[in-house]
Amino acid sequence: MNTQVEDIEKNKVLRRAKCVVWDLDHTIWNGILLEDTTVELHAHILNVIKTLDERGILQSIASRNEYEVAMGKLKEFGIDEYFIYPQINWNNKSTSIKTIAESINIGIDTIAFIDDQPFELEEVKYYHPDVFCIDAAQTISLLDFPEMNPTFITDDSKNRRQLYRNDIVRNQIESDYEGSQEEFLSMLGMVFTISPVEGDDLKRAEELTVRTHQLNATGYTYSYEELDQFRHSPNHKLLISGLEDKYGTYGKIGLTLLECKEGVWVLKLLLMSCRVISRGVGGVTLNYIAKLAHDSGNVLRAEFVPTDRNRMMLLTYKFAGFNEVGQRDGVIILEHDFSRIQSVPSYITLNSTVQQ
């Protein structure tokens, strides 16, 4: 087994659900709404929905129903606010789930789908084999499923639904905006922070490595204990990034791991939440690290492991002035051209507490 395969095997972790997609009839409530408007919630469902939300697991709906009628019933029960991008229509459930995944911008393999009909579960499984399909009868024990239990519950976890609701507002405003992309970004008033991982940040750092797959330059994941060792290591810098704008905070959305040896710094890990893909903060991070390395007299290199999801990260490296200089056991080695260090865009205020 080559070194890269060994690293991937070492870093494999349980794939926990990022979003639970619910059917409605005979799943959340105890009947068919269009036949009986007096349906009631199953006794355990409210606790399940609230607890998943507290754990930072997003929730949505894929139901064949009349939208206004179903949403009215959810509002009557006081649970409509828990579901983002609900798909209440007459489409196939597989189509609705694809729409939800694309709207949230998460991998389809991080979705769990709950339905009472075997046919619906089979239809989704046929088109999306990586979706975790669950019979509605199992919801009574859903909270005990390992896929529904994150290692830590962080502040970002607790606020995740609101963070995504803020994104929905931003996305709608951006869609309606008639100016250029840069003009839109300028009106957001973005403040980007880069700081060493400290205290409770360590839990969020571990969560980021487990949850972030699309914008992860190496695909590596690290345990809480490993990250804590890096945090205290004199030969490493473990940095966490946050972003906010006039619509609210995005939370802690990025993680950087630098191996710092005399003469050469190596980016071992760079990841960003998919929610900030269009904000340019990946490039800002790389140029900031490049300036730190240059000012301290070190060459800056980066490891990149191509996957079926992270091509955007390779483009981010190249736009930031990195060139491929070699490969080792499936790992692409990149090196930064210091003549291409770029300044922070005018539409972002950068705050940092990182020491050279």
pLDDT tens-digit readout, 98-155: 999 999 988 899 999 999 999 999 999 999 999 999 999 999 999 999 999 998 888 8
At residue 76 the predicted structure's pLDDT band, cuts being 50, 70 and 90, is very high
* Cβ(270)–Cβ(288) below 8 Å: no
Query: Do residues 105 and 169 both lie within one domain?
Result: no
At residue 274 the predicted structure's pLDDT band, cuts being 50, 70 and 90, is confident
* Cβ(335)–Cβ(304) below 8 Å: no
| Residue 6 domain-assigned (yes or no) | no
User: Per-residue pLDDT for 343 more than 60?
Assistant: yes
Helix axes 281-295, 311-319, angle to 10 degrees: 50
| Selection from 142, 197, 174, 125 nearest residue 27 by Cα | 142
User: Per-residue pLDDT for 294 more than 60?
Assistant: yes
* Cβ(164)–Cβ(321) below 8 Å: no
At residue 213 the predicted structure's pLDDT band, cuts being 50, 70 and 90, is low
Residues 162-190: tens digit of each pLDDT: 999 999 999 899 999 998 988 999 999 99
Query: Do residues 112 and 196 both lie within one domain?
Result: no
pLDDT value of position 277: 81
At residue 95 the predicted structure's pLDDT band, cuts being 50, 70 and 90, is very high
Query: Do residues 133 and 183 both lie within one domain?
Result: no
Q: Could you give the number of structural domains in the chain? A: 2
Query: Do residues 303 and 321 both lie within one domain?
Result: yes
| Residue 4 domain-assigned (yes or no) | no
pLDDT value of position 94: 98
pLDDT value of position 23: 98
Query: Do residues 224 and 300 both lie within one domain?
Result: yes
User: Per-residue pLDDT for 20 more than 60?
Assistant: yes
Query: Do residues 185 and 227 both lie within one domain?
Result: yes
CA torsion, points 226, 228, 230, 234, in degrees to nearest 10? -140
pLDDT value of position 14: 54
| Residue 280 domain-assigned (yes or no) | yes
At residue 353 the predicted structure's pLDDT band, cuts being 50, 70 and 90, is confident
Find the CATH number of the domain harbouring 137: 3.40.50.1000
Secondary structure E strands in 65-209: 87-89, 111-115, 132-135, 190-196
Query: Rounded mean pLDDT of the chain?
Result: 91
Once rounded to an integer, what is the mean pLDDT over residues 155-163?
A: 91
Query: Do residues 175 and 322 both lie within one domain?
Result: yes
Query: Do residues 280 and 317 both lie within one domain?
Result: yes
At residue 266 the predicted structure's pLDDT band, cuts being 50, 70 and 90, is very high
Which residues constitute the domain of residue 208? Answer: 155-352
* Cβ(276)–Cβ(243) below 8 Å: yes
pLDDT value of position 218: 87
